[in-house]
Amino acid sequence: MKLGFLTAALPGMALNEVAGWAAESGFGMLEIASWPKGKAERRYAGVSHIDVAGLDKAGAKEIRSMLSGHGLDISSLAYYPNYLAPDSGQRQIVAEHLKNVIDAAVLLEVPIVGTFVGADQAKSARDNMDDFATVWPPLVKYAGEREIKVAIENCPMVWEQTWPGGQNVAYSPSIWTRMFEIIPDENFGLNMDPSHLIWQFIDEVRVIQDFRDRIFHFHAKDMEIDREMLYQDGVLGAGFSWAIPRLPGLGAVKWPEVIAALYRNGYDYVVSIEHEDRAFEGDEELVKRGFYLARDVLNPYIV
Amino acid sequence: MKLGFLTAALPGMALNEVAGWAAESGFGMLEIASWPKGKAERRYAGVSHIDVAGLDKAGAKEIRSMLSGHGLDISSLAYYPNYLAPDSGQRQIVAEHLKNVIDAAVLLEVPIVGTFVGADQAKSARDNMDDFATVWPPLVKYAGEREIKVAIENCPMVWEQTWPGGQNVAYSPSIWTRMFEIIPDENFGLNMDPSHLIWQFIDEVRVIQDFRDRIFHFHAKDMEIDREMLYQDGVLGAGFSWAIPRLPGLGAVKWPEVIAALYRNGYDYVVSIEHEDRAFEGDEELVKRGFYLARDVLNPYIV
Amino acid sequence: MKLGFLTAALPGMALNEVAGWAAESGFGMLEIASWPKGKAERRYAGVSHIDVAGLDKAGAKEIRSMLSGHGLDISSLAYYPNYLAPDSGQRQIVAEHLKNVIDAAVLLEVPIVGTFVGADQAKSARDNMDDFATVWPPLVKYAGEREIKVAIENCPMVWEQTWPGGQNVAYSPSIWTRMFEIIPDENFGLNMDPSHLIWQFIDEVRVIQDFRDRIFHFHAKDMEIDREMLYQDGVLGAGFSWAIPRLPGLGAVKWPEVIAALYRNGYDYVVSIEHEDRAFEGDEELVKRGFYLARDVLNPYIV
Amino acid sequence: MKLGFLTAALPGMALNEVAGWAAESGFGMLEIASWPKGKAERRYAGVSHIDVAGLDKAGAKEIRSMLSGHGLDISSLAYYPNYLAPDSGQRQIVAEHLKNVIDAAVLLEVPIVGTFVGADQAKSARDNMDDFATVWPPLVKYAGEREIKVAIENCPMVWEQTWPGGQNVAYSPSIWTRMFEIIPDENFGLNMDPSHLIWQFIDEVRVIQDFRDRIFHFHAKDMEIDREMLYQDGVLGAGFSWAIPRLPGLGAVKWPEVIAALYRNGYDYVVSIEHEDRAFEGDEELVKRGFYLARDVLNPYIV
Amino acid sequence: MKLGFLTAALPGMALNEVAGWAAESGFGMLEIASWPKGKAERRYAGVSHIDVAGLDKAGAKEIRSMLSGHGLDISSLAYYPNYLAPDSGQRQIVAEHLKNVIDAAVLLEVPIVGTFVGADQAKSARDNMDDFATVWPPLVKYAGEREIKVAIENCPMVWEQTWPGGQNVAYSPSIWTRMFEIIPDENFGLNMDPSHLIWQFIDEVRVIQDFRDRIFHFHAKDMEIDREMLYQDGVLGAGFSWAIPRLPGLGAVKWPEVIAALYRNGYDYVVSIEHEDRAFEGDEELVKRGFYLARDVLNPYIV
Amino acid sequence: MKLGFLTAALPGMALNEVAGWAAESGFGMLEIASWPKGKAERRYAGVSHIDVAGLDKAGAKEIRSMLSGHGLDISSLAYYPNYLAPDSGQRQIVAEHLKNVIDAAVLLEVPIVGTFVGADQAKSARDNMDDFATVWPPLVKYAGEREIKVAIENCPMVWEQTWPGGQNVAYSPSIWTRMFEIIPDENFGLNMDPSHLIWQFIDEVRVIQDFRDRIFHFHAKDMEIDREMLYQDGVLGAGFSWAIPRLPGLGAVKWPEVIAALYRNGYDYVVSIEHEDRAFEGDEELVKRGFYLARDVLNPYIV
């Protein structure tokens, strides 16, 4: 395996700066933020380390050359919008940009694009799956024709503003099973993030076993359960007060069992750190210290 | 303590029939369904074993005499509607009926009326608490002036039709704390049902300790967690598939610890079985067998 | 449900004496030992409370009349030999007697016959299943034609003399699954005994869920794990020193969860106490005290 | 086994009143308080239901006759003073009274006398054991010559006034082992009370296994651990705030495992309820309700 | 955070030798033993790596320069005597030396002095707190006027010679709460050592949460619970036989959760290894190996 | 301690190649495969990195010199055949080779030879111990006379072909106790491998405590329990489907507690990685990656 990270946590650094720091810090892969150029719409979203819409062969070659000079590979291009938003105009805009990301992956020789399936937060999971069945088949087909895999992250995107349904319906085993019934294509799979399973009380190790053929990419993020706040607010509080994103090693994910399961399945690709730990935010130095901690905790298991 | 039950599970029997069966089956108290006469709006709701709106002194005396003939007391009158529904007309109708129930409690010499606080299911808990602060103080005052206690049950009333917010916002310790800050009146408290805490992963024994001064009435209902379905749907599935109402003894409530905590707090009133176990429904005989099981499981602890 | 017991633990009493004691002790059903007349070959085996080979219509009517006079039903006829013994002569003898038991069940209007599938103790489970596929289809067919269900108990029949393979291969979920693939007939199922699952570290509650359609009859026996001896001998000691048969309530079976699962599945038949607890053996009085304890522990859950 | 209780919790009733109530309540044995006549020195201590010092043959015969008329046996005579108090005068007084109790046991044909070994609360356990080796051999010999067993209860007698060493050093497995090395006499053993093991985090079920040959008498008392107060005060708080005596079934003792272990050891004598639950004290009726609860919780296991 | 250690475990090395080894071994801070010159009174106590009483500006400057040459900071000065000893003469001597340590901290520009509050081992915690209220306010004021923080370690200092009360009453959450009620000064806090909480069964992670504003300094020491000896001696054995000091990583402290909690609270100071593991004592080389192990276990979490 | 590994996992490399890679990878010791030259009879068995039968003083000196040039020591010579096979000819052949291994250990100045005791797989453990008592005393004496220790590994050598008894009876605490009763010689002990205890549900940490004087050598191998397959096949499945050999850190062994116990016992020798993890097999590079992972997981604890 190789250790990597999602570049979105370093929005103030240019890609070559990120690459330089990653290489000297011992990382081997980058999951590169590929939002459209423009203003970030939420924390970490909207970051763009590659302008995929404006990328041509020459630009792609330059990037690949710069990265290989640092001994780095791109594990995936990252673009996580809402394809099932109520507004059909927005649906079209993000779908168009996904095609740009896929095209860029082809130019950059990156095998995977990571994204969400989206959701209309006012609808139930069942109703969102109906929309999914309409919106997603052509997108997966577009990627498949270009030999690009689409890896869906399992973050429910639920917070106070997106309560109750969240903006990404792909959050549970029963829903993934339904997803792969609707789209059985081999280039459609998961960017599995175990942290989102912790607060749902879903066993993250069993998930790795059950969906072994669909896990294309793996996120290293952790989740702490604040027991006092869980008591105060309960499950109906939807984790707003008691599910706290942490760096790997600082939460409840059973990392040795998780990585043991990945190896047993023959997974031999990236473990990509996603940094959303508020205790290590605020300035770039603190963000980097967070990455160091995650790296040092995971490194013994990465060979 | 005394063992009782909520009469709503026996809608086909008249009150004196219920009382006869209760007495010969060894129960000591009844929690009497007191909905307005008319059609049931949901399973078990809408049942009326006493027509409180039409009750006068003579009628009350007759009921008390019939019950005392069976050696039975009324633990509370039960009316569980939605006082915070979006429609202000409905709000007024149910508030009026609550006053009828309170008046009937006076006539029947019953110290407690059990009910919900209600909720607008489309609103967050915080927003519902704003409405609560407007709607509820006069109702509690009305009861207080008549020396009647109001006991709020902690059922969130969340199911697929009432998703996501449910129709009773009084479901968690942090919310009860807020409730009693807004209305500190001594006649305002809880009809605690531990089953609703189980699927929220809230420790039911600590709740009894923390809210010892506010628990006026106690429900004996249990909740089974279906571990396989919890894995499939997670917490975001809101328990629809994995939280299964059971009779006391057939679920995850720690009854000996629960009852030990009640005794330690000096609680010496009713343990009232609420029967919503689908494995014991369908015909009256099966419902009764369910009550027998609950009775036999709890009886050793009831002295 | 009804509480019953396997009569084999009372070999010194005639059937009418057993019935008299059972009725006055509050039992509702009997699982009647139906071995061929003759000498017991192992503890409790070989007991015969009905001589099925010699039974005719008149004799059956007499038995039924005697039992109904005591308010008792027969839950099943019990005959537990080894149909897959290496010696083909023995195979034939026991198969013939099984037919006698089935015929007797018809005469006695008993819907179920309980038995083992047997095993050649020197063979692996896989090889025994090959023999099963030859020996058992005609037996199940014979019963099916007479509308009698065959319920296989899941005891592995492993002790020092039958080590390593035991004399009944039907001991684990994977084997039952294979069994019902080979014989999918609706009259073929299980006489589930949770005690044998405990020392195999198989979750007895999940078994009830997974095999809900195949559980025809249920044994109430318990198993204590002696932790010190498990440490000394380990799993390779095959439980001889550390798996100790006990009466229900004195071992590790989670009875409330077990019975809750049975009710949830709609099981509404016998819970039949099997008494093999050496702490309650030696004289008939002690055996009876054992049955009283089991009865009193289970009774609150039997309605 | 038989269910009994220690009569000290009913100081206001004469022995024949206690016996009458015990018999009609379904108890089979009494552990009779046998302090010297006079003022109680602590809660429940000092109660005297038999004046052993003044007992003669005729008086003993009368008591035995009265009890057998109620179908009751005496499980033991109870006298729990401090034989190792610093003051040698007090040591002599209590030793003399113990001899009276032993003599009374002979007259009453009671096989067991229950007591403490005592302790000097200012000394370490080791130093107290030196005193034990001097004081106790003649007392055990006195009893042995009269075929009376001495059963030492394992209560440490530690509270704020007797902090830190308590007034009975016989509180842990290592100390009992030492005790029986010093006095190996067969008539010297334990009146085991599992509640005192709970708050010491000593496994009560293993104790029953390890000291099976020395358990002559068994107390049914329970202990609740108040987790919040354990957090606040820790083990150095010595349980004053967090170890709460409860009736059997209301605390942390694993009763089914405890009784299963007793049966497995062949113990077939009394389970004697000791009532020190403050939630059931204050008036005699409440004390009796406490006994009813304990009885009903234990009864299914007593055969 | 920075990794440091308490220098008391290396009594045979001069401060500059300790500093040289610390720097080359990758440590960033030192907690420097500052007992008065003279004979050690107990294991590790009495060590003096700085003669604070004889320190002047020049000497302090020299030490600071030597340490900064090694890239090291002083996390705190360490002096852990008994301020509440029964003898008032001793009380005065140690209080005087504390002022020397505080003065030295000013000269050395060290923000924190670590110490005990002390205790009279024959008194209860409550009585010791009365003495605390007299002795400690002027000491905290003295430090505050010089902008030095006083950090109290939570070791109870209980062993056979100091049984039962120990020589430092500051050992539990309820006592710290009382301490900070008596002295609310902002420069008064804790040098938290989680190992002492383990054997008291106090949750070390909750302590970090509850006392987040008072934790000025953090000790990395671990505690193993010997389960067999806990069974033999119980809680009343006060941990002498079953609480075994270990290096971090070799005991029961949940280090990842502990450090996660510290980061979440914004703690960004020293994690200071206290070495009292007898398996790594006896010669200086073994002591150093112990420090290497602790360093390597903690290092991944120190960024 | 020193980190080492068993060379059998690298059968394609010559000893000096193994040594070179070991040294540059940071290992300090080698456990050298010493089977007779010839064809491997099972996975990893039969590997020979030293031809012990043909070894003379000069050859031994050369090997020692080569290894010390790499800074390496030999922790033990490894030869793991079946001394208790039914065929007496085979018994003699392997016993003769063991003497060769012992002689080679003398020449190479290696203090320990590691091996099995063997077993007749068709016999019970008890019967195998009878053979052990005949076969083993002269072998241990032979080694003792040459001051060589014999360390028996505790692998039961049970798989489908060696079912049920396996080919090494030395697999449980009760058997080791018996072994050391039969042969109490001080040069007879264990090469403890905790992985084989995991699937037998034997506490590996207690084993280290209980057999502290007999553990001469320690294997670092891990075992994963596949919970789904344990449910399907149970303990009678003997772990074939559910006990999965893993590298240290990827299974259920509690490594920090294990190593803490070793240090506490004063064990200060090798922790020797045994690599049998199928997820890291297939080519030499993958095998090496497996060793890197094991090394990095264990290294923080090795000082």
Q: How far apart are CA F98 and CA F142, in angstroms?
A: 10
Per-residue pLDDT at B47: 82
Identify all chain A residues contacting E297, using CB atoms and an 8 Å cutoff: none
Backbone region of residue D167 per phi and psi (left: phi > 0; alpha: psi in -120 to 50; beta: other values) = alpha
Q: Do chains B and D touch (3 or more CB pairs under 8 A)?
A: yes
The whole-angstrom distance between D214's CA and the closest CA on chain C is 19
Identify all chain A residues contacting E260, using CB atoms and an 8 Å cutoff: 224, 246, 249-251
Residue D58 is inside which H or E element, if any?
Answer: helix D57-69
The whole-angstrom distance between A261's CA and the closest CA on chain F is 8
Task: Assign B238 a pLDDT band (cuts: 50, 70, 90).
Answer: confident
The whole-angstrom distance between B16's CA and the closest CA on chain C is 24
How many residue contacts between A and B have a Cβ separation below 8 Å?
81
Nearest one of D142, D119, D118, D29 to D77, comparing CA atoms: D29
Per-residue pLDDT at B133: 98
Per-residue pLDDT at D160: 86
Q: Which chains touch A (3 or more CB pairs under 8 A)?
A: B, E, F
Contact E220, E272 (CB under 8 A): yes
Contact A291, A249 (CB under 8 A): no
Identify all chain F residues contacting E299, using CB atoms and an 8 Å cutoff: 300
Mutate to test the interface with C, among D204, D257, D258, D263 (most CBs of C within 10 A): D263
DSSP letter for D225, please. E
Contact A298, A250 (CB under 8 A): no
* CA dist list (Å): A220 to A45, A275, A277, A303, F294: 18, 8, 12, 16, 21
Per-residue pLDDT at C43: 66
Tens of pLDDT along A33-57?
Answer: 999 987 656 666 678 999 999 999 9
Tens of pLDDT along E182-200?
Answer: 999 999 999 999 999 999 9
DSSP letter for D63, please. H
Q: How far apart are CA D296 and CA D249, in angstroms?
A: 10
Number of Cβ atoms within 10 Å of the Cβ of A265: 15
Identify all chain E residues contacting D232, using CB atoms and an 8 Å cutoff: 172-174
Identify all chain B residues contacting C301, using CB atoms and an 8 Å cutoff: 249, 293, 296-297
| CA E300 to chain centroid | 23
Nearest one of E170, E244, E176, E165 to E212, comparing CA atoms: E176
Could you tell me which chain D residue has the CA closest to the CA of C279?
Answer: D264
What residues are paired with C78 via a beta bridge?
C33, C114
Q: Cβ of F292 and A303 within 8 Å?
A: yes
**In this complex, is the C-beta atom of B209 within 8 Å of any C-beta atom belonging to chain D?**
yes
Q: Which residues contact residue B23 at a Cβ distance below 8 angstroms, ignoring those fewer than 6 apart?
A: B70, B71, B72
**In this complex, is the C-beta atom of C127 within 8 Å of any C-beta atom belonging to chain F?**
no
DSSP letter for B48, please. B
Nearest one of B90, B13, B78, B2 to B46, comparing CA atoms: B78
**In this complex, is the C-beta atom of B273 within 8 Å of any C-beta atom belonging to chain C?**
no
**In this complex, is the C-beta atom of B234 within 8 Å of any C-beta atom belonging to chain A?**
yes
Q: Do chains E and A touch (3 or more CB pairs under 8 A)?
A: yes
Tens of pLDDT along D48-82?
Answer: 999 999 999 999 999 999 999 999 999 999 999 99
Q: How far apart are CA B19 and CA B29, in angstroms?
A: 9
Q: Which D residues in the span 94-123 are in contact with C, Cβ-Cβ below 8 Å?
A: none
Tens of pLDDT along A237-296?
Answer: 888 999 999 999 999 999 999 999 999 999 999 999 999 999 999 999 999 999 999 999
Give ipTM to 2 decimals: 0.95
Per-residue pLDDT at F102: 98
* CA dist list (Å): C40 to A263, C46, C48, C81, D255: 55, 4, 9, 11, 37
Task: Please report the sign of the dihedral spanned by the C-alpha atoms of residue A30, residue A35, residue A40, residue A43.
Answer: negative
State the burial class of residue C4 (Cβ atoms within 10 Å of its Cβ: 0-12, 13-18, 19+): buried
Q: Is the predicted pLDDT of residue F42 greater than 70, yes or no?
A: no
Q: Cβ of B235 and A174 within 8 Å?
A: no
Identify all chain E residues contacting A279, using CB atoms and an 8 Å cutoff: 263-264, 266
Tens of pLDDT along C277-289?
Answer: 999 999 999 999 9
Amino acid residing at F239 = G
Residue D15 is inside which H or E element, if any?
Answer: helix D15-24
Tens of pLDDT along B111-148?
Answer: 999 999 999 999 999 999 999 999 999 999 999 999 99
Task: Assign B44 a pLDDT band (cuts: 50, 70, 90).
Answer: low
For A232, which of B156, B173, B231 is closest by C-beta distance?
A: B173
**In this complex, is the C-beta atom of B26 within 8 Å of any C-beta atom belonging to chain D?**
no
- Output the six-digit token pair for F112: 């320990």
Q: How far apart are CA F25 and CA F27, in angstroms?
A: 6
Task: Assign B95 a pLDDT band (cuts: 50, 70, 90).
Answer: very high
Q: Is the predicted pLDDT of residue F119 greater than 80, yes or no?
A: yes
Q: How far apart are CA E36 and CA C16, in angstroms?
A: 92
Rg of chain B over Cα atoms, rounded to whole angstroms, equals: 18
**In this complex, is the C-beta atom of C153 within 8 Å of any C-beta atom belonging to chain D?**
no
Task: Please report the sign of the dihedral spanned by the C-alpha atoms of residue E58, residue E59, residue E62, residue E67.
Answer: negative
Amino acid residing at A152 = I
Instruction: Give this prediction's pTM.
Output: 0.95
Phi, psi of C9 (to 5 degrees): -75, -5
Q: Is the predicted pLDDT of residue E127 greater than 80, yes or no?
A: yes
Q: Cβ of A300 and F293 within 8 Å?
A: yes
Q: Do chains A and F touch (3 or more CB pairs under 8 A)?
A: yes
Q: Cβ of E199 and D237 within 8 Å?
A: no
Residues in chain E: 303
Q: Is the predicted pLDDT of residue C238 greater than 90, yes or no?
A: no
Task: Assign D164 a pLDDT band (cuts: 50, 70, 90).
Answer: confident
Mutate to test the interface with D, among C273, C296, C301 (most CBs of D within 10 A): C296
Identify all chain A residues contacting F297, using CB atoms and an 8 Å cutoff: 300-301
Contact B273, B294 (CB under 8 A): yes
Residues B199-225, mean pLDDT to the nearest whole number = 98
Tens of pLDDT along E142-153?
Answer: 999 999 999 999
Nearest one of F247, F262, F141, F159 to F204, comparing CA atoms: F262
* CA dist list (Å): E122 to E163, E164, E172, E174: 8, 7, 18, 20
Per-residue pLDDT at A42: 66
Task: Assign F164 a pLDDT band (cuts: 50, 70, 90).
Answer: confident
Q: Cβ of F299 and A300 within 8 Å?
A: yes
Tens of pLDDT along F216-274?
Answer: 999 999 999 999 999 999 999 888 999 999 999 999 999 999 999 999 999 999 999 99
Contact E98, E115 (CB under 8 A): yes
Task: Assign E41 a pLDDT band (cuts: 50, 70, 90).
Answer: low
Q: Which chains touch F (3 or more CB pairs under 8 A)?
A: A, C, E
**Strands (E) located in chain C:** 2-6, 29-33, 73-78, 112-115, 149-153, 188-192, 215-220, 222-225, 243-246, 270-273
DSSP letter for E149, please. E
Q: Which residues contact residue C253 at a Cβ distance below 8 angstroms, ignoring those fewer than 6 apart?
A: C194, C195, C198, C204, C222, C223
- Output the six-digit token pair for E128: 């010791």
Identify all chain E residues contacting F266, using CB atoms and an 8 Å cutoff: 279
The whole-angstrom distance between B288's CA and the closest CA on chain C is 9
Residue D138 is inside which H or E element, if any?
Answer: helix D125-145
Q: Is the predicted pLDDT of residue F181 greater than 90, yes or no?
A: yes
- Regarding beta strands A29-33 and F222-225, do their DSSP bridges make them parallel or antiparallel, or are they unpaired? unpaired
Task: Assign B80 a pLDDT band (cuts: 50, 70, 90).
Answer: very high
Per-residue pLDDT at B166: 93
Q: How far apart are CA F90 and CA C121, in angstroms?
A: 28
Could you tell me which chain A residue has the CA closest to the CA of F228?
Answer: A206
Report helix, strand and coil shares of chain A as percent, to nearest 5.
Answer: 45, 15, 40
Residues F137-149, mean pLDDT to the nearest whole number = 98
**In this complex, is the C-beta atom of E206 within 8 Å of any C-beta atom belonging to chain D?**
yes
Q: What is the full DSSP assignment across chain F? A: -EEEEEGGG-TTS-HHHHHHHHHHTT--EEEEEBPPSS--SBTTBT-BSS-GGG--HHHHHHHHHHHHHTT-EEEEEE----TT-S-HHHHHHHHHHHHHHHHHHHHHT--EEEE-----TTS-HHHHHHHHHHHHHHHHHHHHHTT-EEEEE-----STTTTTT-S----SHHHHHHHHHH---TTEEEEE-THHHHTTT--HHHHHHHTTTTEEEEEE-EEEE-HHHHHHH-GGGTTTTTEEEE-TTSSS--HHHHHHHHHHTT--SEEEE----GGG-SSHHHHHHHHHHHHHHHGGG--
Helix ranges (H only) for chain B are 15-24, 57-69, 88-108, 125-145, 173-182, 195-198, 204-210, 227-233, 255-264, 284-298
Residues A104-113, mean pLDDT to the nearest whole number = 98
What's the mean pLDDT when you consider all of chain D?
A: 96
Q: Is the predicted pLDDT of residue E238 greater than 90, yes or no?
A: no
Tens of pLDDT along A162-189?
Answer: 988 899 999 999 999 999 999 999 999 9
Per-residue pLDDT at B42: 67
Tens of pLDDT along D101-154?
Answer: 999 999 999 999 999 999 999 999 999 999 999 999 999 999 999 999 999 999
**In this complex, is the C-beta atom of F229 within 8 Å of any C-beta atom belonging to chain A?**
no
Per-residue pLDDT at B39: 63
Q: Cβ of B264 and D244 within 8 Å?
A: yes
Could you tell me which chain F residue has the CA closest to the CA of A298?
Answer: F297
Q: Cβ of C224 and D264 within 8 Å?
A: yes
Could you tell me which chain D residue has the CA closest to the CA of C290?
Answer: D303
Q: Is the predicted pLDDT of residue E39 greater than 80, yes or no?
A: no
Q: Which residues contact residue E69 at a Cβ distance below 8 angstroms, ignoring those fewer than 6 apart?
A: none
Q: Do chains C and D touch (3 or more CB pairs under 8 A)?
A: yes
Contact C60, C34 (CB under 8 A): no
- Regarding beta strands C73-78 and C112-115, do their DSSP bridges make them parallel or antiparallel, or are they unpaired? parallel
Per-residue pLDDT at F263: 98
Q: How many CA atoms lie within 13 A of C68 on its CB side?
A: 9
Helix ranges (H only) for chain A are 15-24, 57-69, 88-108, 125-145, 173-182, 195-198, 204-210, 227-233, 255-264, 284-298
The whole-angstrom distance between D264's CA and the closest CA on chain C is 5
Tens of pLDDT along C28-80?
Answer: 999 999 999 876 566 666 789 999 999 999 999 999 999 999 999 999 999 99
Tens of pLDDT along A131-146?
Answer: 999 999 999 999 999 9
Residue with the bigger pLDDT between A212 and E43: it is A212
Identify how many contiguous H helices and E strands chain B contains and give both numbers.
10, 10
What's the mean pLDDT when you consider all of chain F?
A: 96
Give, in degrees to the nearest 5, the angle at Cα F165 between F163 and F167: 95
- Output the six-digit token pair for B141: 């005052």
Nearest one of F57, F80, F255 to F150, comparing CA atoms: F80
